[in-house]
Amino acid sequence: MDELDQARLGGAPPRSDSLRLPEGVGLTAVGVALARARESARDDRLFDDPYAEAFVDAVGDETVAGMKVFGSYIALRTALFDDYLLAAARGGCTQVVILAAGLDTRALRLDWPGETRVFEIDLPDVLAFKYDVLGEAAEAAGHRRTVVPADLREDWGAALTGAGFSAQAPTAWLAEGLLPYLTDADNDRLVDRVGDLSAPGSRLGIEVVNPTTTYRGDVSGFKRMQSSIGAPWRSTQPDPSGWLIRHGWRPADAPTMEELHRRYGREAFLDERTGTGAGGLVTAVRGG
């Protein structure tokens, strides 16, 4: 049994002496943690992620400095999906599956209803790094949190079910910061697998990159980072709501970037992504 298996089963193996850092696309999760750490330090923070800073400290923020330009966008998207997941859990979704969870610590930091189980799927190296950095905090989540190392381009359903997920129970799914790194064909397969595993009442939150989005900030550093770590965006989606409808989901909330700013009181338009058209963030309900 390796360390991850033991962690999944609630054991407490000794941690490795030398930290294994994520590589490639896994490093983008550290960039998101950097944004969450910076937001958590604000007096007017939209959420508090007390674990985010430790991930950044372990890697060093120079590696992911290119993602700073998306800091306020990531803070808004985090707040939106925090609210979506909590509302879904309180509305009857007893399972939460975070696809490409990265260094997301919602399983630890949100006030879930008692019976909620949170499954985190990501690549093995990212989950191993997360396990090593979180230390005992990860164990405090007890049986609520289960990690599932898997490649989301493959058939990950059996691994999820093997980890205790039930396709008979309503689930709140989240694909945040993932779909742009996969191809259109991968994303079609992924959303169909999610649909197959979704009982009535299930919900899904997604983030895509809308190709019509314009950027106020200079994103050249981000592009350089993507190319240096070998993690380009491989797809964009101009019509996320239409895409979800075609795959059996009814969009419930699809705020424009302006609406998102207003909703969370960031009227100064601090964000780097602008535009009044469709944003890339949508939550939906299974079925018509």
Ligand X SMILES: C[S@@+](CC[C@H](N)C(=O)[O-])C[C@H]1O[C@@H](n2cnc3c(N)ncnc32)[C@H](O)[C@@H]1O
Contact segment (CB under 6 A) with ligand X among 11-19, 28-36, 198-206, 217-225 equals 28-36
- Contact window for ligand X (CB under 6 A) among 43-51, 110-118, 145-153, 267-275: 145-153
Considering the complex, what minimum distance in angstroms separates the CB of residue 133 from ligand X? 13
Q: Considering the complex, what minimum distance in angstroms separates the CB of residue 165 from ligand X?
A: 16
Question: In this chain, which stretch among 58-66, 139-147, 177-185, 246-254 interacts with ligand X, using CB under 6 A?
Answer: 177-185
Residues 98-117 that bind ligand X (CB under 6 A): 100-104
Q: Which amino acid is at 161?
A: T
What character string, x for contact with ligand X (CB under 6 A) and - otherwise, covers 201-230? ------------------------------
Tokens of 254: 């699809």
Minimum CB distance to ligand X smaller for 229 or for 257: 229
Alpha carbons 165 and 93: distance in angstroms, whole number: 12
Q: Does 122 bind ligand X (CB under 6 A)?
A: yes
165 contacts 197 by C-beta, under 8 angstroms: yes
Among 178, 204, 244, 284, binds ligand X (CB under 6 A): 178
CB of 287 to ligand X, least distance (A): 25
Task: Find all residues with CB under 8 Å of 172, minimum gap 6, and list them.
Answer: 84, 85, 88, 89, 93, 95, 96, 97, 202, 203, 204, 205
φ, ψ of residue 175 to 5 degrees: the values are -125, 85
Complex with ligand X: residue 138 or 152, whichever CB lies closer:
152
Please give the structure tokens belonging to residue 265: 């009181």
Task: Tell me the residue length of the chain.
Answer: 288
The residue number with the shortest CB distance to ligand X is 102
SS3 assignment for 132-173: HHHCHHHHHCHHHEEEEECCCCCCCHHHHHHCCCCCCCCEEE
**Residue 104 Cβ vs ligand X, minimum distance, rounded to whole Å:** 4
Contact (Cβ atoms closer than 8 angstroms) between residue 78 and residue 62 = no
| Residues binding ligand X (CB under 6 A) | 25-26, 28-29, 32, 100-104, 122-123, 126, 151-153, 176-178, 181
